[in-house]
Each structure stands twice: as C-alpha cells, then as structure tokens.
C-alpha cells in the first residue's frame, strides 16, 4: 500500500505522520487520521489541534495535506485542553470520579454477597449523579471545566464552559486583538474561502481571532470593501469591538454570532472533495446558496450580514421573559417590548457611532439611514415572540413575491435572519448537537435563577421537566420545519441543503426520546421490583420474629368450656 509522509514539529521536536494515500475523506472526522497528530502532541480527545504551514498560515488537518519534506515541516500546536481530574479534585476538595468508582465497587460487592442491589444503593447513586449534573450545568460552577456530553461524540465542548467571568477581561481582549491583527494580513486559501460558503462548517475548531479573520473575508468576498469604501483598519476595529461586546455565556456568544452570520451566505459549490471543518454556516451561506447577489442590492446584503454579526450583542444569557418578570433595567428601559433585541441594536450603534469602528462612515447620509433602518428591522425580527407575525406576513406575500418590491424584500430579510438564527439543526450532527448542549445549559441556568428568585419558571427551560430530545422534537416540528419550508417555496434549492438535514435531526431526537422513555420505564420497573422485594423481606422478617416469640398466652374468655 502506498503511503504519504507528513513532516512537522511539535514543541520544537521533529515528528512525522505516515498514512495511506487512499485514506477516505470522512476519516478527517474519524479516529484514524487525527489520532496520528493527537498522539504526537500527547493531546486528549477533546483538545484542539492547529497545524501551520512554513509561512505561518493555518491549514486543515486532513488526508488532503500536501506532502512536504523535512526541510519544510509543518508546525503542530495544541491550543486548548480540558480540565483534568487532578485539577478538579483540587478545586472540589475531593475526587468525584473516585467517589463514583468506590460506589461502583460497593455495588458489585453487595451484588456478589446478597444477590441484589438494595434501594439505599440506588438512592446513593442518584445523589451522586445529581451532584455531578449540578456541577456540569450550573453556570457559576462552570469554571470547574466540566461538561455533560450527552451525545457521546468526539466534538470539542464550548470553550465558554471554562470562563470565570461574564464580561471578557481586558487581558483576554488584548490577547485576542493582538493575535487577530497578526493574522489579519495572512492569506486565506481558496479552499477555505469556498468551504466558508457551505452549510457544513465546524465552528468548534476555530479560535476567536481566526473567526474575526473569516468575518473579514466575508466582507471582502461580497465586495463590500470596495463598494462601500470600508477601510481595512476600520473593519478590523469594528469586528474586534463586536467580539469584545459578546459575553462569556454558553450559547449566545461570539461563536453563535459567527455561525448565524455565515449561514446567511452558503453557496452551491460542491463539497464532495472538501474536507475542511465547516463553520460560518448561516447568513453568509444563504446569500451564496440562494444567489441573492443577483436578486438584491448590495446594500441589502450588507444590512443582512451586519445585522447577523450584531444580532445578540451583550446578551447575558437570560431571555426576554426573565427580563420582564424580574423587572430588569432593560425591561424598564424598553417598556417590556423586545428588551434584549432593542439592547442588541443599541449596542451595535454605540460601536458604529465611534469614528474608529464605523464601517459606514464613508457613506452618504441617505444610505446610512437606509442601513440603520434595515439593521433595526432585522435584529428586532429575531425576537421569537414575533415569529408567527413575521411568518404569516411572509406567507401572505409569497404567491406574488417581487424582488423589486421594497416591502417584500424587507420581510424576506427578516425571514432570512430568523432562519439563520435558529438553523443549527441544518448542520451536520457533530456540529449541531454541541450547540444544543450549550443552549440547554443556558436555559437550565435561567430556570435555576427563576426558582431561586421566586419568578415564574419558563417551562421549556426547567431542568426537572425538559430532556435533550424533548426540547428539540416539538421545536423542529412546529417552528423550524414550517419556517424552512416556506422559505424553500421561494428558493427550492434549500430543500436539500437545510430541510433534509432538519428532518434527519427530527428522526434522531425522536429515536433518542423513545430510548430515554424506555430507559425510564425499565428503571422504574427495577426500582419497583427492588422495593417490592424489600417489603416482602421485611414482612417475612416480621413473621419470623412472631414465630420465634412462641404461642401467644391465653386470656380469660378465650378458653372453651365443655
């Protein structure tokens, strides 16, 4: 079998990886190919690896790597690592894994000696599981580095589980800004540019500085730089300010902004030979996929892309229902009317009001007003309480939709950003499922706070009532599919690219829900059987004690007379 050798360095030491020339493309996500590099880096299964060519450009770790020589080695780097058990034990004051192991050993010993597991052991296991779940899902404990990976996949959990502060620290921002500015002048390969237009990109393998570079590529490839006279240093400052104003929360963070922005622009480019990770999946992708560049003005596309970039600025992880019920400053300021979305808009224009970060500063006033009006409409449309209103309006104009009609285009732009905002399930499962885990952590954290503060608990966020699959099946059936299908009526090409994957996701979570229900029933039967047996043993013990006590003494009146 012919092989290919890749030469690289790891921490300055020379290494090499050898693999078959006919290694299948899907192995980029499989165990074989990445493990060659993980082994050399002594990295864990969830660590992020980066590979650089001799020019210092990031390249994808895949079987398509260009062969090189010992004189032109690539550079391999581990950029993130999970919290290990020793660190966790030090943080908690004890080792949770050791506790679970001791409990398992105790259970085995009891089973060998008694032939059954007493109810008290079930209760102990339940308490340990509950404690672990609390550590894994409560936001203010997330610094411990735990993450509940329900999908049992090999993806990298969101880095936001490891952050200690809601707001980004000055040091954190300065480090990312410096790295971004260093990378911003590097050439992005055509392979990456094309993959950026597809709906399969894996956001989990990209750092914040790299994400800003790719956002910059979007503005360039859509000809916004030249058309709207956007200076490169102003765009870079704008993107950095946007990054800085997204918070360290599990879901509504800078990576989410990035994903929503990219879905707006997928192209029809075939991905059969592309094995790069897939990331910017939303607004950027839809612009290319639906060929909107030929159907809408450039200024409308600029509005949609910038709206996607800014749509969740300064989100703190608590939705509008919480803001209103808790009477927060935002709810009072905006009179309970889309408090979050109004705030996101306000923060966006705070950034754009500064000369050094105003990417629209060279535009005439009439164009700026049009852009401002469009961005406000698009961001306010992401309030899910307006979902039916906007969808019904789109359905009413769909039979006679006219791209020359401004009102029609305005509604379409709102629909497109809504689709981009909630379309994670249109991505490959290994990309989409970690986002669901992130969303559930944010939801559960809010419901915990609502309970603590005596506020109405948002039903779909209650950790005591919601399961992973149940959170998705209804949402896909009654929100995602109806929305996506209406958009596909205008753009039939979307049937294959976003509707088919969502239908598969519905099947996946439906099966998971059935499996959980079967597991729940089996557990209940086992517990009932254990309790019944325990009751029977107790009754037998009571009967035996009565027997050992001898015959009951006779009393007057109980003696029969002849």
Integer Cα distance of 238 and 348 in angstroms: 10
pLDDT of the residue at 343: 98
Q: Is residue 530 very low, low, confident or very high in pLDDT (cuts 50, 70, 90)? A: confident
Q: Do 131 and 230 share a domain, yes or no? A: no
Rounded CA-CA distance 222/225 in Å is 8
Whether residue 306 sits in one domain with residue 193: yes
d(CA 148, CA 157): 9
**φ, ψ (nearest 5 deg) of residue 418:** -65, -45
Within this chain, do residues 212 and 181 fall inside the same structural domain, yes or no?
Answer: yes
Report the alpha-carbon distance of residue 497 to residue 271 in Å, rounded. 12
Those residues with Cβ within 8 angstroms of residue 406's Cβ, 6 or more apart along the chain or in another chain: none
Tell me what pLDDT residue 414 has: 97
Spatial distance between the Cα atoms of 321 and 342, rounded to a whole number of angstroms: 14
Of these ranges, 71-80, 125-134, 497-506, the one predicted with the greatest mean pLDDT is 497-506
pLDDT of residue 543: 60
State the pLDDT at residue 307.
97
pLDDT at position 116: 62
Question: For 156-209, what is each residue's pLDDT tens digit?
Answer: 444 444 455 789 999 999 999 999 998 887 778 887 787 777 667 777 878 899
In this model, does residue 84 exceed pLDDT 50? no
Residues 61 and 15 occupy one common structural domain: yes
Q: Do strands 58-59 and 3-10 pair parallel, antiparallel, or not at all (unpaired)?
A: unpaired
Specify the pLDDT at position 451. 93
Q: How confident is the model at residue 537 (pLDDT cuts 50, 70, 90)?
A: low
Neighbouring C-beta atoms of residue 432, cutoff 10 Å: 22
Q: How far apart are CA 197 and CA 285, in angstroms?
A: 5
Q: Please check whether residues 91 and 78 belong to one and the same domain.
A: no
Average pLDDT for 101-114: 67
Can you say whether the dihedral through the CA atoms of 533, 538, 541, 542 is positive or negative?
Answer: negative
pLDDT digits (tens, 9 = 90+) for 215-237: 999 999 899 999 999 999 999 99
Structure-model confidence comparison of residues 534 and 327, the more confident one = 327
Residue 216 in domain: yes
Q: What is the DSSP letter of 324?
A: H
> Percentage of residues in the chain with pLDDT exceeding 90?
48
| Same domain for 102 and 56 | no
With CA atoms as reference, report the closest residue to 440 among 147, 47, 83. 147
Compute and round to an integer the Cα radius of gyration of the chain.
29
Average pLDDT over residues 51-71: 79
221 and 296 inside one domain? yes
Q: Does the residue 433 lie in any domain? A: no
CATH of residue 51 = 3.10.20
Does residue 245 sit in the same domain as residue 206? yes
Last residue of a domain, one of 388, 422, 456: 422
* Tokens encoding 307: 């709206």
| pLDDT tens, residue by residue, 341-400 | 999 999 999 999 999 999 999 999 999 999 999 999 999 999 999 999 999 999 999 999
**Higher confidence at residue 5 or residue 235?**
235
Per-residue confidence band for 542, with pLDDT thresholds at 50, 70 and 90: low
* CA triple 348-352-357, angle to 5 deg: 120
Residue 472 lies in a domain: no
**Residue 329: strand, helix, or coil:** helix
Q: What pLDDT is recorded for position 247?
A: 96
User: In b/e form, how buried is each residue of 118-136, taking b as 16+ CB within 10 angstroms?
Assistant: eeebbeebeeeeeebeebb
Residue 484 domain flag: no
- Mean pLDDT score, 38-55: 73
Backbone angles phi and psi of 48, in degrees to 5: -95, 130
Same domain, 115 and 219: no
Task: Give the model's pLDDT for residue 129.
Answer: 65
Q: Give residue-wise pLDDT tens across range 299-312.
A: 999 999 999 999 99
Q: Is residue 156 part of a domain?
A: no
Indicate the range of 55-59, 80-84, 495-499, 512-516 predicted with least confidence: 80-84
Q: In angstroms, rounded to a whole number, what is the distance separating the alpha carbons of residues 74 and 53? A: 5
Give the list of residues 6+ apart from residue 211 with CB closer than 8 angstroms, or none.
203, 243, 254, 255, 258, 279
Cβ atoms 348, 310 nearer than 8 A: yes
Closest CA to 347 of 375, 326, 327: 375
In this predicted structure, what is the pLDDT of residue 189?
Answer: 80
If you count them, how many residues does the chain have?
Answer: 562
Given 422, 446, 475, which residue is the final one in a domain?
Answer: 422
Which residue, chain included where needed, has tokens 């779909």? 460
> Does residue 71 sit within a domain?
yes
Rounded Cα distance, 65 and 517, in Å:
45
Q: Which pLDDT belongs to residue 138?
A: 44
CB neighbour list of residue 465: distance below 8 Å, 6 or more residues apart: 459
pLDDT band at 91, cuts 50/70/90?
very low
| Model confidence at 243: pLDDT above 90 | yes
pLDDT surpasses 80 at 42: no
The answer to whether residues 99 and 128 touch, using CB atoms and an 8 Å cutoff, is yes
Confidence of residue 103 (pLDDT cuts 50, 70, 90): low
Task: Give me the number of domains the chain comprises.
Answer: 3
pLDDT at 272: 28
Categorize the per-residue pLDDT at 76 as very low, low, confident or very high, splitting at 50, 70 and 90: confident
**CATH code of the domain containing 411:** 1.10.1300.10
Sign of CA dihedral 38, 43, 44, 45: negative
pLDDT of residue 81: 46
pLDDT of residue 531: 77
Provide the pLDDT for residue 151.
38
Tally Cβ neighbours within 10 Å of residue 544: 10
- The Cα 505–Cα 510 span in angstroms is 8
* C-alpha pair distances (Å), 275 with each of 9, 83, 187, 496: 23, 29, 19, 20
Residue 468 lies in a domain: no
Domain co-membership, 22 together with 121:
no
Cα gap 53→411, rounded to integer Å? 45
- Of 103, 128, 144, the one marking the end of a domain is 144
Give the tokens for residue 73. 């080695």
Q: Note whether residue 299 is domain-resident.
A: yes
Q: What is the largest CA-CA distance in the chain?
A: 124
CA distance 317 to 443: 8
- Minimum mean pLDDT among 1-5, 105-109, 270-274, 483-487: which range? 270-274
To the nearest whole number, what is the mean pLDDT of the chain? 80
Taking CA 10 as the corner, what is the angle to CA 7 and CA 16, rounded to the nearest 5 degrees? 25
Please give the model's pTM, rounded to 2 decimal places: 0.68
Is the domain of 247 the same as that of 129? no
CA 281 to CA 319: how far, in whole Å?
A: 24
Query: Which of 46, 140, 175, 252 is flagged as catalytic?
Result: 252
Structural domain containing residue 213: 169-422
Per-residue pLDDT tens for 389-421? 999 999 999 999 999 999 999 999 999 999 999
The whole-number pLDDT of residue 496 equals 85
Q: Are residues 295 and 415 in the same domain?
A: yes
Higher local confidence (pLDDT), 224 or 122: 224
Select the more confidently predicted residue: 515 or 312: 312
CA angle 304, 306, 308 (to 5 degrees): 70
482 has a pLDDT exceeding 80: yes
Contact between 168 and 220 under an 8 Å Cβ cutoff? The reply is no
Between CA 256 and CA 429 the distance in angstroms is 16
Full 3-state SS string of 26-78: HHHCCCHHHHHHHHHHCCCCCCEEEEECCCCCEECCCCCCCCCCHHHCEEEEE
Is residue 46 flagged as an active site residue?
Answer: no
């Amino acid at each position: 079998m012919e092989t290919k050798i890749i030469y690289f360095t790891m921490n300055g030491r020379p290494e090499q990886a050898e693999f078959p020339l006919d290694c299948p493309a899907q192995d980029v996500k499989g165990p074989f190919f990445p493990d060659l590099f993980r082994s050399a880096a002594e990295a864990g299964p969830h660590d992020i690896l980066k590979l650089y060519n001799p020019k210092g450009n990031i390249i994808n770790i895949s079987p398509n790597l260009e062969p090189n020589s010992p004189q032109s080695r690539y550079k391999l780097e581990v950029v993130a690592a999970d919290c290990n058990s020793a660190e966790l034990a030090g943080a908690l004051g004890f080792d949770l894994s050791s506790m679970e192991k001791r409990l398992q050993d105790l259970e085995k010993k009891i089973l060998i000696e008694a032939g059954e597991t007493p109810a008290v052991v079930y209760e102990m296991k339940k308490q340990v599981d509950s404690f672990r779940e609390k550590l894994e899902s409560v936001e203010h404990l997330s610094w411990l580095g735990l993450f509940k990976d329900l999908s049992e996949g090999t993806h990298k959990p969101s880095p936001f589980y490891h952050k200690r502060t809601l707001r980004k620290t000055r040091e954190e921002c300065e480090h990312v800004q410096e790295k971004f500015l260093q990378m911003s002048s590097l050439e992005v390969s055509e392979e990456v540019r094309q993959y950026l237009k597809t709906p399969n990109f894996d956001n989990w393998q990209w750092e914040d500085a790299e994400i800003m570079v790719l956002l910059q590529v979007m503005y360039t490839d859509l000809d916004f730089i030249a058309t709207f006279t956007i200076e490169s240093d102003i765009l870079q400052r704008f993107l950095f300010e946007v990054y800085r104003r997204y918070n360290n929360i599990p879901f509504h963070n800078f990576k989410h902004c990035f994903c929503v922005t990219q879905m707006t622009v997928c192209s029809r480019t075939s991905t059969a030979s592309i094995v790069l990770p897939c990331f910017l999946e939303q607004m950027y992708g839809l612009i290319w996929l639906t060929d909107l560049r030929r159907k809408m003005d450039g200024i409308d596309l600029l509005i949609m892309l910038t709206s996607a970039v800014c749509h969740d600025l300064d989100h703190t992880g608590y939705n509008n229902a919480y803001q209103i019920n808790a009477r927060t400053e935002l709810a009072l300021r905006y009179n309970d009317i889309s408090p979050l979305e109004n705030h996101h808009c306000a923060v966006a224009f705070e950034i754009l009001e500064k000369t050094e970060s105003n990417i629209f500063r060279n535009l005439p006033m009439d164009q700026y007003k049009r852009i401002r009006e469009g961005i406000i409409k698009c961001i306010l449309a992401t309030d899910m309480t307006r979902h039916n209103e906007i969808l019904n309006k789109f359905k009413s104009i769909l039979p006679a939709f006219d791209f020359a009609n401004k009102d029609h285009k305005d509604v379409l732009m709102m629909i497109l950003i809504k689709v981009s905002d909630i379309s994670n399930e249109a991505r490959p499962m290994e990309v989409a499922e970690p986002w669901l885990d992130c969303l559930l952590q944010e939801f559960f954290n809010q419901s915990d706070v609502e309970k603590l503060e005596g506020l109405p608990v948002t039903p779909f966020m209650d950790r005591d009532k919601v399961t992973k699959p149940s959170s998705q099946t209804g949402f896909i059936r009654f929100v995602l599919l109806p929305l996506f299908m209406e958009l596909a009526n205008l753009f039939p090409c979307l049937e294959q690219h976003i509707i088919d994957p969502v239908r598969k996701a519905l099947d996946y979570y439906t099966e998971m829900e059935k499996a959980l229900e079967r597991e729940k029933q089996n557990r209940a039967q086992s517990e009932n059987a254990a309790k019944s047996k325990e009751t029977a043993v107790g009754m037998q013990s009571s009967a035996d004690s009565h027997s050992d006590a001898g015959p009951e003494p006779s009393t007057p009146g109980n003696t029969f007379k002849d």
